[in-house]
Amino acid sequence: NATAIRDVSSSFLGPILSNAQAIRHLSIHITSNTQLQQLFTSSGADFINLESLSLSIQHFDTNSPSLITAFHNSPRLTRVSFDLNGCPPSPSLIQLPWAQLEQLNVTGASILPADAFRSLLSACTSLRRASLWVEDALDENTPTNDISIVTLPSLTHLSVSFYGRHEKTASSL
């Protein structure tokens, strides 16, 4: 039952929130983002020493009124890994210090539409390593020369896996 799972998950929040300043590496694997909504939307927890974050969420409820905001003020956060099972991560959904990220790994079924892929890369200006899945979703009628160029001067490792027909998407990169 969902209420029992939510109650069990809530019992773990106290230690996480009270020790937020000491946590350097955080890995969370849950069934639904609503289970830890109190953590994800917490404004009182400062993850000031957080260096790496891994979120694996089997069911990401995009209809949930709350964004993930708990990690937006993490000055040392440089490595992030997402497995959101079909929900692509975006700066509008998950508030992070995107510009300071050096490593980004999006796995599982979190396939990014081409425009979200470009938007995410544009936000990650310090990126050195990235591994992403991209869906060919560019509008066939959009001229390739109308798409702005994304420059990532520190990028040394990039793995992009295309899903679907990718001729239009690949040519826009």
Sequential DSSP letters for 117-154 = HHHHHHH-TT-SEEEEEEE----TTS-GGGSPPP--TT
Q: How does strand 103-106 pair with strand 112-113?
A: unpaired
What residues does each domain of the chain span?
Answer: 2-172
Q: What is the pLDDT of residues 117-144, one digit of tens each?
A: 888 889 999 999 999 888 765 555 555 5
State the average pLDDT over residues 135-159: 74
Q: What is the pLDDT of residue 51?
A: 98
Q: H/E element holding 116?
A: helix 114-123
Q: What is the pLDDT of residue 5?
A: 46
Higher pLDDT, 44 or 94: 94
- 6 to 36, 37, 39, 75: CA distances (angstroms): 8, 9, 12, 30
Which architecture, in CATH terms, is 2-172? Alpha-Beta Horseshoe (3.80)
Q: What is the pLDDT of residue 137?
A: 57
Tokens of 112: 């990014």
Comparing CA positions, the residue from 168, 116, 123 lying closest to residue 146 is 168
pLDDT at 1 over 80: no
Q: What is the pLDDT of residue 4?
A: 45
Q: What is the pLDDT of residue 107?
A: 81
pLDDT at 156 over 80: yes
State the average pLDDT over residues 149-167: 82
Q: What is the pLDDT of residue 149?
A: 81
Q: What is the pLDDT of residues 77-103, one digit of tens each?
A: 999 998 877 676 777 778 899 999 999
Look at the block and give the residue holding tokens 């310090």: 126
Phi–psi pair at 172, nearest 5 degrees: -85, -10
Q: What share of the chain is helix, strand, coil (3-state, %, to 5)?
A: 30, 25, 45
